[in-house]
Amino acid sequence: MDITAHTIQSLLDGYQKKEFKPSEVAAAYLAQIKKTNGKLNAFLQTREEETLEAAKKLDAKMSEADSLPLFGIPVGVKDNFLVKGWQCTAGSKVLEGYRSPYTATSVEKLENAGAFVIGKLNCDEFAMGSSNENSAYGPVRNPWDLERVPGGSSGGSSAAVAASLCPASLGTDTGGSIRQPASLCGIVGIKPSYGRVSRYGVVAYASSLDQVGPFGKTVWDASRVLEAMAGNDPMDSTCSKSSVPSYTKTMESFSLSGVKIGVARSWLEGVDPEVKKSFEESLKLMEKQGAKLKDIELPHAKYSLSTYYLIAPSECSSNLARYDGVHYGYRSKETRNMDELYSKSRGEGIGKEVKLRIMLGTYALSSGYYDAYYMKANQVRRLIQQDFEKAFADCQCIASPTSPTTAFKLGEKTDDPLTMYLSDIFTLPVNLAGVGGISVPSGLDSKGLPIGLQLMGKAFDEPTLLSIAYQYEKLRGAFPLPKGLN
């Protein structure tokens, strides 16, 4: 078996049986990246020497493999995480050449669990986008069809796993940036509950919504990565102190029998018919195993887009004020005074969509508009949270499609910001409510493009959410990988 065809689960099994060593696994993935990345533009940086060195250190620890939950697992990291010594651009020209002075807690925890970094992955600039076309380093292409987008903003993270350039990757999800690309690339992506994973060392976009999460080929793989990096971190004051149970241990014995799954029917208008069909089939599969479908209402979910596009830009206008050309990052060459240094550095360094969101936020927070925009959005956000609280009082999870369509063509939605924003209508409310969500592949459309099922769970009830997803995945059966890349 080709090493890069493995899942995390089968790699761990292979290490146990001493079929291969971490350095051989590292070399196999690095070779695959060399061969395929030119077509995908998923990786922005690899450091062969450093990666092989880290893997060789693990070679010497083969006897301890049992005690390390991610022993010898190569992980791709979205380029908005700091990894000491590696470049971190966040997909922006502003941060071109920026060297990370320390490592993000999430990455450090994975390294402590035996994993090693295989490379940094392309993304929409500052994680703002739904197609990965906003990267200053060029778009990522979808391994299922190179003319189509992989989704965004973690498009590199999803394309790389789908194309078997790494068995797992990290992304960030502020409004759908893990689940939507996972759906469009036919893999699994988890947005954990807000506060489950530390964000120390991750480039901030909208702090009340940002959350770190994993991508994998299977629910088990992604859950294994999540359980290794979740948990308290004194360096992130929004990170919960509650203990992290082992998700992978309990999912196998979990039964769907009697599990109540909420479905908000009114939410499904405007969904692509093939996506809807796959969604209904997924529900039927779970129903057959004893799950009970329950009609629910999320009356304010329809306002998620407006709410999100006030709150996220407001927070981003504040968070991104730090890119001023003073301490690090891009500085304009010709500036006569400080005011010019700020405006020219930002004007030249920051890309189109990010500027739009900074200005939206600046406007929403400006004197005279604050109450009508930012305050109002927070009030509606509370109502959306309450909708979810009510729904979860009577069901263990809520199901929806992850994205209303399958992967669209490059350039198809770049002219109108709203058209692009609409591809996140099912994922946005999850971030606003602070609950957990996962996207699991549910089928292929007539063009052969993957469709995703989104399952949403109560805040901090990842054990139930991931178990339901795992059981669904088992019912669905094996899912294909994209063909024709090699």
In whole angstroms, what is the distance from residue 7 CA to residue 29 CA?
A: 13
Catalytic residue, chosen from 78, 109, 120, 458, is 78
Amino acid letter, residue 104 = A
CB of 361 to another protein, least distance (A): 8
Three-class SS of residue 78?
Answer: strand
Q: Which is nearer to another protein, 39 or 84 (CB)?
A: 84
Q: What b/e sequence results for 397-436 when a residue is b if at least 16 CB atoms lie within 10 Å of its CB, and e otherwise?
A: bbbbbbbbbbbbebebbbeeeeebbbbbbbbbbbbbbbbb
**How far is CA 432 from its chain centroid?**
16
Catalytic residue, chosen from 130, 153, 282, 345, is 153
Q: In terms of Cα–Cα distance, which of 264, 276, 266, 171 is closest to 225?
A: 171
Q: Which is nearer to another protein, 30 or 456 (CB)?
A: 456
Q: What is the DSSP letter of 404?
A: S
CB of 306 to another protein, least distance (A): 5
Question: What are the start-end ranges of the H helices in 230-303?
Answer: 247-250, 273-288
Beta strands 292-295 and 260-263 are parallel
Annotation marks residue 78 as catalytic: yes
Q: Which is nearer to another protein, 60 or 321 (CB)?
A: 321
The 10 Å Cβ neighbour count of residue 17 is 7
In whole angstroms, what is the distance from residue 417 CA to residue 419 CA?
A: 6
CB of 300 to another protein, least distance (A): 7
Q: Which is nearer to another protein, 45 or 362 (CB)?
A: 362
Structure tokens at 413: 């939605």
CB of 92 to another protein, least distance (A): 14
CB of 170 to another protein, least distance (A): 21
CB of 117 to another protein, least distance (A): 18
**How far is CA 205 from its chain centroid?**
14
In whole angstroms, what is the distance from residue 405 CA to residue 402 CA?
A: 9
In whole angstroms, what is the distance from residue 477 CA to residue 170 CA?
A: 25
Q: Which is nearer to another protein, 274 or 340 (CB)?
A: 340
Backbone angles phi, psi at 48, to 5 degrees: -50, -50
Catalytic residue, chosen from 131, 157, 158, 177, is 177
Q: Output the DSSP codes for 294-327.
A: EE---TTGGGHHHHHHHHHHHHHHHHGGG-SSSS
Q: Which is nearer to another protein, 146 or 321 (CB)?
A: 321
Q: Which is nearer to another protein, 157 or 240 (CB)?
A: 240
Residue 381 · residue 307 · CB < 8 Å: yes
The 10 Å Cβ neighbour count of residue 288 is 10
CB of 53 to another protein, least distance (A): 20
Residue 403 · residue 452 · CB < 8 Å: yes
Residue 342 · residue 363 · CB < 8 Å: no
Residue 181 · residue 158 · CB < 8 Å: yes
Residue 439 · residue 179 · CB < 8 Å: yes
Question: What are the start-end ranges of the H helices in 125-192?
Answer: 155-162, 179-185
Backbone angles phi, psi at 81, to 5 degrees: -105, 140
CB of 472 to another protein, least distance (A): 27
Q: Which is nearer to another protein, 49 or 371 (CB)?
A: 371
Q: Which is nearer to another protein, 108 or 473 (CB)?
A: 108
CB of 250 to another protein, least distance (A): 21
User: Which residues are catalytic, by number?
Assistant: 78, 153, 177
